[in-house]
Structures are given as C-alpha cells and as structure tokens.
Amino acid sequence: MNVRFAKAHGLGNDFILVDAGFAPAEPQPWARRLCDRHVGIGADGLLLVESRGADRIGMRLFNADGSEAEISGNGVRCVAAWGVHRGVVGLRHLVETVAGPRPVEVTPMAETRYRVGIDLGTPLQDGPLAEALEAAGQQLRVTTTSLGNPHCAVFMKEPPADEVLQILGPAIEHHPRFPRRTNVEFVCVMSRTELRVRLWERGVGYTRSSGTGAASAAAAAVLHGFVNRRVSVACDGGVLDVDWPLGATLRQVGEAELLFEGEWLA
C-alpha cells in the first residue's frame, strides 16, 4: 500500500508527517527507513498525525533511530502548521503529544510558512543546579531539566566545534546518569537577552535546531540567573524566542515551513 506523506521543518529540524492510520503496528523500523537520508525520504524524525476534531490534533514522534520521543517543540510547530494548512484545525488549537496537550497559536506568513507560538508548560529542574558529570574524559558542570522530555545543558564560553560536538554529544546522551538517554544543549550566554546554542538530540544526533532544546537552554540560563526571562535563542538553523514569566508557563515562538508532499512507494 502506497502512503502519502508531507515533509516540513522548523529551522532546519526536519520531519516526515504521515497520517497515523497508515502506520504499522510497530512503527520503529518503518521510522528508521523513512528517516534514512540515503535510502528513505530523510528527516530527523517521523510524526504520526491524527485529527481529533476542529480544535485539536494528535501526534506521536519517532526519532531517526526509531526510538519514540515524548515531545518535540519543532515537531509540534510542524504539526500545527500542517493542520492549519490542510484546514483540519483553526489558528488556535491543541497539539496532543505523549507528554500532554500543548496549546498553539499559528500565524500564516507566506503560502507554506507559518509562525507558531507554543505553550510548553513549566520547566522542571531535574537535579542540582550545577551538577558534576564526567563525559569523554572531561569534567563538566551540567544543568538538567525536563519539558516532558529530558534535557542537559552545558554552559560554554564559545560554541563547540563540530568535532567537539561529535565527541561530547553522544557521551552525554548515553551517560549512565541518564537511563532514558538525554538531549544535550551546548549553551553560550551572549547577553542578558540572547543565547547561542548548539544541539545534540537524543535518537537523532546533531540537529540544526530543537524547540524543547532551545527552551530548556533558556530555562537553565534563567535558573542560573544568567539571562532575563525573555530571551532569544540562536540555533544553527535560526532563532527561537522564549518567554518564561515568573510564576507562569514557558512560551516559545518560532517558524515552521511545509516543504513538499509525496507518496512512499516502498
């Protein structure tokens, strides 16, 4: 049976969107094949999308390695943009994830480009504020948080080079401290209102952008007192704006773009 799909990205963090009804009972091997950039469509993740009425849409995310993730900020943005583009939901609706429902507000920018605001909930600190961790022979200080999925922020004076990212990223992701593995953010404080972040995503590896990664980096910087509660986070793929008012939930705004649709024949 041939399967229709759509391809979308949030600041270079790319996804394949497929109607959940067409997914096999065990989607993990299928996700690995579809996300393969040589023998598949190519993406950081597969999003299984399910329409649940005029005001909500469901999603499940499978990473490029086939593992299931609880949530993705950029994935939520792509699903929200796809739902509005297709007329399935209105500009304001809920995207229901494994980590829980996330309210979104979509603003059309061009024919296939959208700006999407997400309420990502309240970041939770998941350990000491400055926790000692040894990885790849280096002594690090990390800050662990959760937005429904696990994150580990490493503050650095300058963005790590690719070779450093490729060494420290997997060493931290698979560290025994994180039995479910973790997403990793390498964070540089540029000013009170700007962060520069490079990202290593659980189940994916290097990625140009991460919604929850950027939000978690901002939350960690706020907890340390390094930045104000409204901050721009510059990823390799672009900028995400984060606002975490005192006593409130964290809101993030960024772009999503629908690229093309096709039919999977294999």
Dump strand ranges (E) for 64-193. 68-69, 92-97, 100-108, 113-121, 124-125, 131-135, 138-146, 150-155, 183-191
Q: Please name every residue paired with 59 in a beta bridge, in sequence order, or none if there are none.
A: 49
Six token digits for residue 29: 């091997």
Domain that holds residue 186: 124-248
pLDDT of residue 52: 94
CATH of the domain at 27: 3.10.310.10
pLDDT tens string for the chain (266 positions)?
A: 789 999 999 999 999 999 999 999 999 999 999 999 999 999 999 999 999 999 999 999 999 999 999 999 999 999 999 999 999 999 999 999 999 999 999 999 989 999 999 999 999 999 999 999 999 999 999 999 999 999 999 999 999 999 999 999 999 999 999 999 999 999 999 999 999 999 999 999 999 999 999 999 999 999 999 999 999 999 999 999 999 999 999 999 999 999 999 999 97
Residue 248: what pLDDT? 98
Q: How far apart are CA 58 and CA 97, in angstroms?
A: 6
Same domain as 111, residue 160: no
Both 145 and 73 in one domain: the answer is: no
CA-CA distance, 256 to 266, in Å (whole number)?
28
Grouping H, G, I as helix, E, B as strand and the rest as coil, residue 194 is strand
- Do both 167 and 195 map to the same domain? yes
Domain count, the chain: 2
